[in-house]
Structure 1
Protein backbone atom coordinates (compact mmCIF):
# COMPACT_ATOMS: atom_id res chain seq x y z
CA UNK A 1 0.00 0.00 0.00
CA UNK A 2 1.29 3.48 -0.82
CA UNK A 3 2.02 5.62 2.19
CA UNK A 4 -0.86 7.39 3.87
CA UNK A 5 -0.62 10.51 6.03
CA UNK A 6 -1.98 8.72 9.09
CA UNK A 7 -0.24 11.12 11.46
CA UNK A 8 -1.93 14.29 10.28
CA UNK A 9 -5.27 12.85 9.29
CA UNK A 10 -5.95 10.02 11.70
CA UNK A 11 -3.74 10.89 14.69
CA UNK A 12 -3.43 14.69 14.82
CA UNK A 13 -7.03 15.17 13.75
CA UNK A 14 -6.63 17.75 10.99
CA UNK A 15 -10.19 17.05 9.88
CA UNK A 16 -11.69 15.92 13.15
CA UNK A 17 -14.48 18.47 13.40
CA UNK A 18 -17.29 16.81 15.41
CA UNK A 19 -19.96 19.07 13.93
CA UNK A 20 -18.95 17.95 10.44
CA UNK A 21 -18.43 14.27 11.18
CA UNK A 22 -21.75 13.94 13.01
CA UNK A 23 -23.65 14.79 9.84
CA UNK A 24 -21.40 13.06 7.32
CA UNK A 25 -23.19 9.70 7.11
CA UNK A 26 -24.46 8.97 3.60
CA UNK A 27 -23.44 12.44 2.37
CA UNK A 28 -21.06 13.45 -0.43
CA UNK A 29 -17.60 15.01 -0.13
CA UNK A 30 -15.28 16.80 -2.55
CA UNK A 31 -11.67 16.35 -1.46
CA UNK A 32 -9.35 18.81 -3.24
CA UNK A 33 -5.72 17.88 -2.66
CA UNK A 34 -6.37 14.23 -1.92
CA UNK A 35 -2.70 13.21 -1.95
CA UNK A 36 -2.46 9.43 -1.42
CA UNK A 37 -6.10 9.11 -0.41
CA UNK A 38 -5.86 9.27 3.37
CA UNK A 39 -8.45 12.00 3.77
CA UNK A 40 -10.83 10.34 1.32
CA UNK A 41 -10.62 7.10 3.30
CA UNK A 42 -11.00 9.04 6.56
CA UNK A 43 -14.27 10.53 5.32
CA UNK A 44 -15.49 7.11 4.12
CA UNK A 45 -14.68 5.57 7.49
CA UNK A 46 -16.74 8.34 9.07
CA UNK A 47 -19.75 7.50 6.93
CA UNK A 48 -19.41 9.42 3.66
CA UNK A 49 -21.41 7.90 0.81
CA UNK A 50 -19.16 9.25 -1.96
CA UNK A 51 -15.86 11.13 -2.10
CA UNK A 52 -14.53 12.84 -5.21
CA UNK A 53 -10.76 12.89 -4.58
CA UNK A 54 -8.87 15.41 -6.70
CA UNK A 55 -5.09 15.04 -6.98
CA UNK A 56 -2.91 16.71 -9.67
CA UNK A 57 0.26 14.60 -9.40
CA UNK A 58 -0.12 11.51 -11.65
CA UNK A 59 1.88 9.05 -9.54
CA UNK A 60 0.30 10.27 -6.32
CA UNK A 61 -3.19 9.94 -7.81
CA UNK A 62 -2.37 6.36 -8.80
CA UNK A 63 -1.29 5.77 -5.23
CA UNK A 64 -4.64 7.10 -3.99
CA UNK A 65 -6.44 4.75 -6.38
CA UNK A 66 -4.39 1.83 -5.07
CA UNK A 67 -5.12 2.73 -1.45
CA UNK A 68 -8.84 2.98 -2.20
CA UNK A 69 -8.74 -0.43 -3.91
CA UNK A 70 -6.78 -2.12 -1.12
CA UNK A 71 -9.17 -0.60 1.42
CA UNK A 72 -12.22 -1.91 -0.43
CA UNK A 73 -13.50 1.62 -1.04
CA UNK A 74 -13.45 1.92 -4.83
CA UNK A 75 -17.24 2.10 -4.86
CA UNK A 76 -17.12 5.20 -2.67
CA UNK A 77 -13.88 6.96 -3.65
CA UNK A 78 -13.52 8.39 -7.15
CA UNK A 79 -9.94 9.58 -7.70
CA UNK A 80 -9.49 12.20 -10.41
CA UNK A 81 -6.01 13.11 -11.67
CA UNK A 82 -6.59 16.82 -12.24
CA UNK A 83 -6.07 20.24 -10.67
CA UNK A 84 -8.70 22.65 -9.45
CA UNK A 85 -8.82 25.46 -11.98
CA UNK A 86 -10.02 26.58 -15.35
CA UNK A 87 -7.35 24.98 -17.51
CA UNK A 88 -4.66 22.30 -17.71
CA UNK A 89 -1.49 22.54 -15.65
CA UNK A 90 2.01 21.14 -16.10
CA UNK A 91 3.23 18.98 -13.24
CA UNK A 92 6.09 16.54 -12.54
CA UNK A 93 5.26 13.06 -13.82
CA UNK A 94 6.88 11.18 -10.93
CA UNK A 95 7.00 13.24 -7.74
CA UNK A 96 8.49 12.03 -4.47
CA UNK A 97 5.63 10.70 -2.35
CA UNK A 98 7.12 11.91 0.91
CA UNK A 99 7.39 15.46 -0.42
CA UNK A 100 4.08 15.50 -2.28
CA UNK A 101 2.19 16.84 0.73
CA UNK A 102 3.79 20.23 0.04
CA UNK A 103 3.47 20.25 -3.76
CA UNK A 104 1.84 23.34 -5.29
CA UNK A 105 0.81 23.76 -8.91
CA UNK A 106 1.41 27.48 -8.36
CA UNK A 107 5.14 27.10 -7.78
CA UNK A 108 6.24 23.85 -9.45
CA UNK A 109 5.81 22.59 -13.01
CA UNK A 110 6.90 19.58 -15.02
CA UNK A 111 6.55 17.64 -18.28
CA UNK A 112 3.17 16.02 -17.56
CA UNK A 113 -0.02 17.93 -18.38
CA UNK A 114 -3.14 17.25 -16.35
CA UNK A 115 -6.56 18.80 -16.92
CA UNK A 116 -8.12 21.49 -14.81
CA UNK A 117 -11.56 21.00 -13.34
CA UNK A 118 -13.82 23.66 -11.92
CA UNK A 119 -16.05 23.64 -8.87
CA UNK A 120 -18.99 23.33 -11.26
CA UNK A 121 -17.41 20.24 -12.82
CA UNK A 122 -16.93 18.66 -9.40
CA UNK A 123 -20.44 19.51 -8.22
CA UNK A 124 -21.82 17.81 -11.32
CA UNK A 125 -20.22 14.57 -10.10
CA UNK A 126 -22.18 14.40 -6.84
CA UNK A 127 -25.82 14.55 -5.86
CA UNK A 128 -25.59 15.73 -2.27
CA UNK A 129 -22.79 18.27 -1.65
CA UNK A 130 -22.08 18.32 2.05
CA UNK A 131 -18.37 18.95 2.63
CA UNK A 132 -15.65 20.61 0.59
CA UNK A 133 -12.15 19.92 1.88
CA UNK A 134 -9.26 21.87 0.34
CA UNK A 135 -5.59 21.28 1.08
CA UNK A 136 -4.13 22.18 -2.28
CA UNK A 137 -1.16 24.40 -1.43
CA UNK A 138 -2.63 27.61 -2.79
CA UNK A 139 -5.57 26.76 -5.04
CA UNK A 140 -7.94 27.64 -2.20
CA UNK A 141 -7.48 31.34 -2.96
CA UNK A 142 -8.81 31.00 -6.51
CA UNK A 143 -11.73 28.86 -5.31
CA UNK A 144 -12.73 31.36 -2.62
CA UNK A 145 -12.07 34.60 -4.53
CA UNK A 146 -12.40 33.56 -8.18
CA UNK A 147 -15.27 33.59 -10.68
CA UNK A 148 -16.84 30.41 -9.30
CA UNK A 149 -16.89 31.47 -5.67
CA UNK A 150 -20.71 31.52 -5.64
CA UNK A 151 -20.68 27.75 -6.18
CA UNK A 152 -19.30 27.37 -2.67
CA UNK A 153 -22.81 28.07 -1.39
CA UNK A 154 -23.72 24.52 -2.44
CA UNK A 155 -21.78 23.10 0.52
CA UNK A 156 -22.89 22.96 4.13
CA UNK A 157 -19.31 22.79 5.39
CA UNK A 158 -15.89 23.80 4.09
CA UNK A 159 -12.62 22.76 5.74
CA UNK A 160 -9.59 24.33 4.12
CA UNK A 161 -5.90 24.95 4.69
CA UNK A 162 -4.45 28.39 3.95
CA UNK A 163 -1.12 29.17 2.28
CA UNK A 164 -0.65 32.96 2.20
CA UNK A 165 3.11 32.49 1.74
CA UNK A 166 2.34 30.87 -1.64
CA UNK A 167 -0.64 32.89 -2.85
CA UNK A 168 0.12 36.32 -1.39
CA UNK A 169 -3.51 36.41 -0.24
CA UNK A 170 -4.14 36.98 3.46
CA UNK A 171 -6.25 34.64 5.54
CA UNK A 172 -8.40 37.62 6.47
CA UNK A 173 -9.31 38.25 2.83
CA UNK A 174 -10.35 34.62 2.35
CA UNK A 175 -12.44 34.62 5.51
CA UNK A 176 -14.11 37.91 4.54
CA UNK A 177 -15.08 36.44 1.17
CA UNK A 178 -16.58 33.37 2.81
CA UNK A 179 -18.50 35.55 5.25
CA UNK A 180 -19.99 37.43 2.28
CA UNK A 181 -21.13 34.06 0.92
CA UNK A 182 -22.98 33.28 4.14
CA UNK A 183 -20.42 31.15 5.98
CA UNK A 184 -19.35 31.38 9.58
CA UNK A 185 -15.69 30.42 9.92
CA UNK A 186 -13.53 29.55 12.87
CA UNK A 187 -9.89 28.57 13.27
CA UNK A 188 -9.55 24.81 13.62
CA UNK A 189 -5.78 24.28 13.75
CA UNK A 190 -2.74 26.56 13.59
CA UNK A 191 -0.10 24.72 11.57
CA UNK A 192 2.72 27.21 10.97
CA UNK A 193 2.15 30.52 12.81
CA UNK A 194 5.05 32.33 11.13
CA UNK A 195 3.72 31.41 7.68
CA UNK A 196 0.07 32.04 8.47
CA UNK A 197 -0.69 28.43 7.57
CA UNK A 198 -3.94 27.42 9.27
CA UNK A 199 -6.88 25.09 8.90
CA UNK A 200 -10.32 26.69 9.10
CA UNK A 201 -13.79 25.21 9.37
CA UNK A 202 -16.65 27.16 7.82
CA UNK A 203 -20.34 26.31 8.02
CA UNK A 204 -23.19 27.84 6.10
CA UNK A 205 -25.65 29.96 8.06
CA UNK A 206 -28.37 29.82 5.41
Structure 2
Protein backbone atom coordinates (compact mmCIF):
# COMPACT_ATOMS: atom_id res chain seq x y z
CA UNK A 1 0.00 0.00 0.00
CA UNK A 2 1.24 3.47 -0.86
CA UNK A 3 1.94 5.88 1.97
CA UNK A 4 -0.56 8.75 2.34
CA UNK A 5 1.93 11.29 1.04
CA UNK A 6 2.89 9.17 -1.96
CA UNK A 7 -0.76 8.40 -2.67
CA UNK A 8 -1.53 12.13 -2.59
CA UNK A 9 1.15 13.04 -5.10
CA UNK A 10 0.39 10.00 -7.25
CA UNK A 11 -3.20 11.16 -7.55
CA UNK A 12 -1.95 14.64 -8.42
CA UNK A 13 -0.12 13.03 -11.34
CA UNK A 14 -3.35 11.40 -12.46
CA UNK A 15 -2.09 7.87 -11.77
CA UNK A 16 -5.04 6.75 -9.68
CA UNK A 17 -8.06 7.68 -11.81
CA UNK A 18 -9.65 5.60 -14.55
CA UNK A 19 -11.90 8.15 -16.23
CA UNK A 20 -13.84 5.54 -18.16
CA UNK A 21 -15.40 4.30 -14.90
CA UNK A 22 -17.04 7.63 -14.15
CA UNK A 23 -20.06 9.31 -15.76
CA UNK A 24 -19.80 12.87 -17.01
CA UNK A 25 -21.07 15.28 -14.34
CA UNK A 26 -21.66 19.01 -14.31
CA UNK A 27 -18.28 20.73 -14.14
CA UNK A 28 -17.44 23.11 -11.31
CA UNK A 29 -16.99 26.49 -12.94
CA UNK A 30 -13.59 28.03 -12.30
CA UNK A 31 -12.99 31.67 -13.09
CA UNK A 32 -10.91 32.29 -16.23
CA UNK A 33 -7.26 33.11 -15.73
CA UNK A 34 -7.93 36.71 -16.75
CA UNK A 35 -10.11 37.11 -13.65
CA UNK A 36 -7.68 35.50 -11.26
CA UNK A 37 -5.91 37.23 -8.42
CA UNK A 38 -2.67 39.16 -9.14
CA UNK A 39 0.48 37.12 -9.66
CA UNK A 40 2.74 36.10 -6.83
CA UNK A 41 5.98 38.10 -6.64
CA UNK A 42 8.20 36.64 -9.32
CA UNK A 43 11.66 37.41 -7.92
CA UNK A 44 12.38 33.90 -6.62
CA UNK A 45 11.63 30.52 -8.25
CA UNK A 46 10.38 29.27 -4.87
CA UNK A 47 7.75 31.99 -4.43
CA UNK A 48 5.02 30.57 -6.71
CA UNK A 49 5.42 27.10 -5.20
CA UNK A 50 5.27 28.45 -1.65
CA UNK A 51 2.11 30.36 -2.53
CA UNK A 52 0.59 27.23 -4.09
CA UNK A 53 1.28 25.21 -0.95
CA UNK A 54 -0.20 27.94 1.25
CA UNK A 55 -3.36 27.80 -0.88
CA UNK A 56 -3.49 24.00 -0.66
CA UNK A 57 -3.31 24.29 3.12
CA UNK A 58 -6.27 26.67 3.07
CA UNK A 59 -8.22 24.30 0.82
CA UNK A 60 -7.58 21.39 3.20
CA UNK A 61 -8.93 23.44 6.11
CA UNK A 62 -12.00 24.68 4.25
CA UNK A 63 -15.47 23.21 4.63
CA UNK A 64 -16.69 24.86 1.42
CA UNK A 65 -18.12 22.93 -1.52
CA UNK A 66 -15.88 21.41 -4.17
CA UNK A 67 -16.77 24.23 -6.58
CA UNK A 68 -15.90 26.90 -4.01
CA UNK A 69 -12.62 25.24 -3.14
CA UNK A 70 -11.80 25.05 -6.85
CA UNK A 71 -12.41 28.79 -7.15
CA UNK A 72 -10.22 29.36 -4.09
CA UNK A 73 -7.32 27.40 -5.56
CA UNK A 74 -7.51 28.41 -9.23
CA UNK A 75 -5.59 31.72 -8.91
CA UNK A 76 -2.66 29.94 -7.22
CA UNK A 77 -2.60 27.31 -9.98
CA UNK A 78 -2.52 30.10 -12.58
CA UNK A 79 0.26 31.88 -10.71
CA UNK A 80 2.36 28.75 -10.18
CA UNK A 81 2.09 26.92 -13.52
CA UNK A 82 2.81 27.73 -17.13
CA UNK A 83 -0.15 25.56 -18.11
CA UNK A 84 0.26 26.28 -21.83
CA UNK A 85 3.79 24.88 -21.80
CA UNK A 86 2.87 21.92 -19.58
CA UNK A 87 -0.01 21.03 -21.92
CA UNK A 88 2.04 21.43 -25.08
CA UNK A 89 4.85 19.25 -23.70
CA UNK A 90 2.33 16.69 -22.44
CA UNK A 91 0.74 16.39 -25.90
CA UNK A 92 4.06 16.38 -27.75
CA UNK A 93 4.66 16.92 -31.46
CA UNK A 94 1.00 16.38 -32.38
CA UNK A 95 0.15 19.61 -30.60
CA UNK A 96 1.15 21.51 -33.75
CA UNK A 97 -1.51 19.74 -35.81
CA UNK A 98 -4.42 20.65 -33.51
CA UNK A 99 -6.68 23.46 -34.83
CA UNK A 100 -6.46 26.71 -32.88
CA UNK A 101 -10.09 26.52 -31.72
CA UNK A 102 -9.47 23.06 -30.29
CA UNK A 103 -6.25 24.23 -28.66
CA UNK A 104 -8.19 26.91 -26.77
CA UNK A 105 -10.79 24.40 -25.55
CA UNK A 106 -8.09 21.86 -24.72
CA UNK A 107 -6.22 24.41 -22.61
CA UNK A 108 -9.44 25.38 -20.84
CA UNK A 109 -10.23 21.76 -19.97
CA UNK A 110 -6.62 21.06 -18.98
CA UNK A 111 -6.76 23.99 -16.56
CA UNK A 112 -10.06 22.77 -15.10
CA UNK A 113 -8.55 19.28 -14.83
CA UNK A 114 -5.41 20.54 -13.07
CA UNK A 115 -7.39 22.53 -10.51
CA UNK A 116 -9.89 19.71 -9.90
CA UNK A 117 -7.07 17.20 -9.46
CA UNK A 118 -5.46 19.25 -6.69
CA UNK A 119 -8.77 20.08 -4.99
CA UNK A 120 -9.80 16.42 -4.97
CA UNK A 121 -6.44 15.29 -3.66
CA UNK A 122 -6.08 17.84 -0.87
CA UNK A 123 -9.56 17.39 0.53
CA UNK A 124 -10.92 18.91 3.76
CA UNK A 125 -9.59 17.18 6.85
CA UNK A 126 -6.16 16.44 5.40
CA UNK A 127 -3.14 16.86 7.63
CA UNK A 128 -0.43 17.37 5.02
CA UNK A 129 2.63 19.43 5.91
CA UNK A 130 4.28 21.28 3.04
CA UNK A 131 7.96 22.20 3.14
CA UNK A 132 9.79 24.19 0.45
CA UNK A 133 13.60 24.24 0.49
CA UNK A 134 14.77 27.87 0.63
CA UNK A 135 17.13 27.67 -2.35
CA UNK A 136 16.43 26.33 -5.84
CA UNK A 137 19.09 24.39 -7.76
CA UNK A 138 19.99 24.51 -11.48
CA UNK A 139 18.06 22.13 -13.74
CA UNK A 140 19.51 20.15 -16.64
CA UNK A 141 18.22 22.73 -19.13
CA UNK A 142 20.19 25.99 -18.83
CA UNK A 143 18.18 28.76 -17.24
CA UNK A 144 15.68 26.47 -15.55
CA UNK A 145 15.67 25.91 -11.78
CA UNK A 146 14.41 23.09 -9.59
CA UNK A 147 12.46 23.90 -6.43
CA UNK A 148 12.71 21.03 -3.95
CA UNK A 149 9.70 20.39 -1.71
CA UNK A 150 8.48 17.74 0.71
CA UNK A 151 4.89 16.71 1.51
CA UNK A 152 4.40 14.88 4.80
CA UNK A 153 1.24 13.07 5.89
CA UNK A 154 0.92 10.75 8.88
CA UNK A 155 4.68 10.58 9.30
CA UNK A 156 5.42 9.64 5.69
CA UNK A 157 7.23 12.15 3.44
CA UNK A 158 7.32 12.35 -0.35
CA UNK A 159 9.74 14.56 -2.27
CA UNK A 160 8.07 16.62 -4.98
CA UNK A 161 10.29 18.83 -7.13
CA UNK A 162 9.13 21.60 -9.46
CA UNK A 163 10.96 22.49 -12.66
CA UNK A 164 10.73 26.28 -12.96
CA UNK A 165 11.21 28.43 -16.06
CA UNK A 166 11.40 32.21 -16.24
CA UNK A 167 8.51 33.61 -18.31
CA UNK A 168 7.19 37.09 -19.03
CA UNK A 169 4.93 36.63 -15.99
CA UNK A 170 7.78 35.44 -13.74
CA UNK A 171 8.91 31.99 -12.64
CA UNK A 172 6.42 29.28 -13.57
CA UNK A 173 6.28 25.48 -13.19
CA UNK A 174 6.82 23.56 -16.44
CA UNK A 175 7.08 20.06 -14.93
CA UNK A 176 6.69 18.30 -11.59
CA UNK A 177 8.99 15.46 -10.50
CA UNK A 178 7.62 12.92 -8.04
CA UNK A 179 10.33 11.42 -5.84
CA UNK A 180 12.78 13.56 -7.76
CA UNK A 181 12.55 11.75 -11.10
CA UNK A 182 9.00 10.76 -12.17
CA UNK A 183 7.96 13.46 -14.64
CA UNK A 184 4.34 14.62 -14.60
CA UNK A 185 4.71 15.69 -18.25
CA UNK A 186 5.94 12.22 -19.25
CA UNK A 187 3.09 10.51 -17.36
CA UNK A 188 0.54 12.79 -18.97
CA UNK A 189 2.03 12.28 -22.43
CA UNK A 190 1.49 8.54 -22.10
CA UNK A 191 -2.02 9.07 -20.72
CA UNK A 192 -3.05 11.66 -23.32
CA UNK A 193 -1.76 9.79 -26.37
CA UNK A 194 -4.83 7.55 -26.66
CA UNK A 195 -7.07 10.62 -26.92
CA UNK A 196 -5.21 12.17 -29.84
CA UNK A 197 -5.39 11.53 -33.53
CA UNK A 198 -3.82 13.50 -36.33
CA UNK A 199 -5.21 17.02 -36.17
CA UNK A 200 -8.00 16.15 -33.74
CA UNK A 201 -8.04 16.52 -29.94
CA UNK A 202 -11.79 16.05 -29.42
CA UNK A 203 -11.34 12.65 -27.73
CA UNK A 204 -8.73 14.09 -25.36
CA UNK A 205 -11.03 17.01 -24.52
CA UNK A 206 -13.83 14.58 -23.66
CA UNK A 207 -11.42 12.46 -21.62
CA UNK A 208 -10.38 15.49 -19.56
CA UNK A 209 -14.05 16.37 -18.96
CA UNK A 210 -14.66 12.85 -17.64
CA UNK A 211 -11.62 13.08 -15.38
CA UNK A 212 -12.82 16.43 -14.02
CA UNK A 213 -16.14 14.77 -13.20
CA UNK A 214 -14.31 11.89 -11.55
CA UNK A 215 -12.36 14.22 -9.26
CA UNK A 216 -15.52 16.10 -8.37
CA UNK A 217 -17.32 12.87 -7.61
CA UNK A 218 -14.49 11.50 -5.47
> Does TM, scored on the shorter chain, surpass 0.5?
no
Structure that is richer in strand per residue: 1
Give the helix-richer structure, 1 or 2. Answer: 2
Q: Looking at both structures, which has the greater relative contact order when contacts are Cα pairs under 8 Å and sequence separation is at least 6? A: 2
Greater C-alpha Rg: 2
